[in-house]
Every structure is written in structure tokens, then in C-alpha cells.
Amino acid sequence: MTGSETRWRALPAEIASEELGSWCPRIPLPLAVTGATGFIGSHVTDALLASGLRPRLLVRDPSKLDALARAEAVVVQGDLDDGGALAGLVDGCGAVIHLAGLVRAENENRFDHANRAGTTNLVRAMRERAPGARVVHISSLAAAGPSADPAGNAPEDEARPVSAYGRSKLAGEAAAREHAGSWVILRPPTVYGPRDIDVLQFFRMAARGLVPLPSGDRWVTVAYVSDVVRAILAAAAGCADGRVVHLGEPEPRTMTGIIGVLAGSGGVRARIVRVPPVLVRFLGLGGDTLQRLGMRNVAMTSDKARELLARHWSARTAASLDALGLAGWVPMPVGAARTWAWYRERGWVPAA
């Protein structure tokens, strides 16, 4: 299946069952998902369950799944180091959506173990139990690295990651390519939306009226979570086989523009304060220390500082979206307004 054969509608809101009728039945079954308790993974799981599918979910802690997923999905307890759990997860599968990975770690070895070795373990299990299955590997734009051109990198450009995280994701891509069956590699950019805890920090800073950013503006590609879910489902259904594809809005935005959209869509005023690069690096070193002390959820580390200071985190996505058959996307002002509403309803950011 190619993008020219099927055009799928843009979703105006979070995934709903009536929007999925033409998608999920095309996914070869059984279907397995790793990383189902993560931000994007939870939305993918919701979409599959809403369509009437019963995916197999690999999770370390089933209590982190919501009640519907625990009741309706096939829960396989384990992780990417557990050969027995992986064998049961993929046995006889038609497709595997691989979302599990590590986005924060105190050293390169931990990133590599989770994002490269974990993918290698999954592919090995598929080779033994589901050699003809399709694997949809969710990587990251960090694997491609930053672009010297504000217009962004294309999928076929040479990958030059600048962080340990990016290098580990690129190595995971190489592992996914070793799968004997069909594969698709998706590189999401910065993804925002309900349940996210990373871009949430920018919403909180905007709500307080002050947003620190490194000096020198940067162009960034962003994606609303439901658009990423649509891309994952399209890839699982057979679009863009054997390709690396970039996700996100077709036109990148400046960080200044992004903060303006966030503030405006939330009905707040936010002033940008430029931060010298040396201070960003210093904060990263402080985050490294906190991680070594056991604080795993520290947002700013040296690795993240290198990514934050790089220019530009933008991607060329038009050809990729066409290959996936995706028509339209959720514009950032619309997605940001919905995200504000979700955060405010749950008290994650203050009411306007």
C-alpha cells in the first residue's frame, strides 16, 4: 500500500473510534505494542482499543495501564531484556509497534542498553516467533541530529546525532533494519499533547509569564500526538514499508513563534528571557549530578543541554506524510489549546 492508494483524514481531536474505522482493520493481526504506558504509547493503545482491537502489550508494571487497557488488552508482563516475555509477545504476530525506549539516563551505556540492545532483543524474538511480521520502529528526530538548514533534514540525509540519546536511537534503527520481514522507521520530532510531561514544562513556564530560552533563535518541527498516532497506525497498516520517515508539521516554527502560539492559545502572556549557552551547560551538569543521586526524571542533563543548544531541530516531512497517506494535520494553535484544556482540567497548569 502506498500513500497514493489511500488518503486518511486529519483528526481534529484525540483519537476516537469513529475516526479509525478505515485504518485499524488493515493492520495485520495479532498486533503487539511495546511502550504502551508511555506518552505516545498510551494514545496508540487507546486508539487500538477504541477500534475494537485487542493488542498485546509488553509492560513492566501493569498497574500503570488504565483500567480499560488492563481489562481489554492482552497484557504481557516483562521488558526488553526478558526473552520469555518477548517470545510470548510476538509469537505469531502480524505486526509489532515498538515504542519502548529510554529518553533520560545518566550515561551513554544505559541509553544504548535500552534503545539499541532492547531493539535487538525484540528483533531476535521476531526472527524466531514472527519472521514475517511487520515492525514499526518509533525512533526520534534526535537520531538524525540537528539541521544546519532551518528547513530541516530529509530522511535520506546523513544522520549526525549530537547526543547519547540520539546515537542510541540511531543504533536502534540499525537493529530494526535487521528484521527479516517488512519494517518502517518513524522519526517523530518534539511531540506535545495531553499526558505529555516534557513539553508540559514550557506550558508551565508560559503560565508563569516567563520562558527562558538559549540565545539565538532556532527552527523546530513539532507534532500533535494524534498526528503521530495516525502515522504509527498507517505504518502498521502497510504504508511506507522499508522507509525512514520524518513526522511533524510540514513547516517548521521558530522557538519564539512556538512560545507565542503556546501563550496565545492558553490566553496568557509570556516573556522570553534569553539564557547564555554556558548557563544551559551548567544546568545540564547539575542535572547529571541529580541523576547519579537517583532522580531519574530530571529534565535537564548534559545530554539534553547539547540537544537544546543545537540548531535547528527541524525536519522535511512533506514526502514522508505523503508516503504514509496522511492528509492534513492538527495545527499547533488548535493542538496547544486542547493541551492547555487537558492540563488545566487535571491541575497540571493553573487555570487561566
Res 24: pLDDT = 62
Instruction: Output 101 or 107, whichever has higher pLDDT.
Output: 101
Instruction: Output 282 or 168, whichever has higher pLDDT.
Output: 168
Res 296: pLDDT = 66
Res 239: pLDDT = 92
Res 1: pLDDT = 32
Residues 197-207, mean pLDDT to the nearest whole number:
95
Instruction: Output 33 or 283, whichever has higher pLDDT.
Output: 33
Res 23: pLDDT = 57
Rounded to the nearest 10°, the torsion over CA 27, 33, 38, 44 is: 10
Residues 222-239, mean pLDDT to the nearest whole number:
93
3 — pLDDT class (breaks 50, 70, 90): very low
Max Cα distance, the chain (Å)? 56
Res 79: pLDDT = 97
pLDDT at 297 over 60: yes
Res 114: pLDDT = 97
Res 295: pLDDT = 67
Residue 171 near residue 116 (C-beta atoms within 8 A)? yes
C-alpha cell at 128: 524466531
- 121 closest CA partner among 172, 75, 165, 169: 172
Res 326: pLDDT = 86
pTM: predicted TM-score of the whole model, two decimal places = 0.91
C-alpha cell at 72: 481489554
Res 338: pLDDT = 94
- Residue 293 CB burial class (10 angstroms; 0-12, 13-18, ≥19): exposed
Describe the chain by its helix, strand, coil percentages, rounded to 5: 45, 15, 40
Pure H helices in the chain: 39-50, 67-72, 83-90, 108-112, 118-129, 141-144, 164-177, 200-208, 225-236, 255-266, 277-292, 302-309, 318-323, 332-345
Residues 236-250, mean pLDDT to the nearest whole number:
95
Q: In percent, how much of the chain has pLDDT > 70?
A: 90
Task: Quote the CA–CA distance of 139 and 161 in Å, as a whole number.
Answer: 12
Judged by average pLDDT, the poorest of 9-13, 79-83, 192-196, 201-205 is 9-13
Residue spans of the domains in the chain: they are 17-191+223-250+314-330
Residues 224-246, mean pLDDT to the nearest whole number:
94
Residues 318-337, mean pLDDT to the nearest whole number:
91
For the segment 130-185, what is each residue's pLDDT rounded down to a tens digit?
A: 999 999 999 999 999 999 999 999 999 999 999 999 999 999 999 999 999 999 99
For the segment 13-56, what is each residue's pLDDT rounded down to a tens digit?
A: 344 434 444 556 589 999 999 999 999 999 999 999 988 899 99
* HSE toward the beta carbon, residue 264, CA cutoff 13 A: 10
Instruction: Give the torsion sign (CA, 234, 240, 243, 248).
Output: negative
pLDDT at 11 over 60: no
Fold observed for domain 17-191+223-250+314-330 = Rossmann fold (3.40.50)
Residues 257-285, mean pLDDT to the nearest whole number:
90
Judged by average pLDDT, the poorest of 1-15, 215-229, 261-275 is 1-15
Computed over every residue of the chain, the mean pLDDT equals: 89
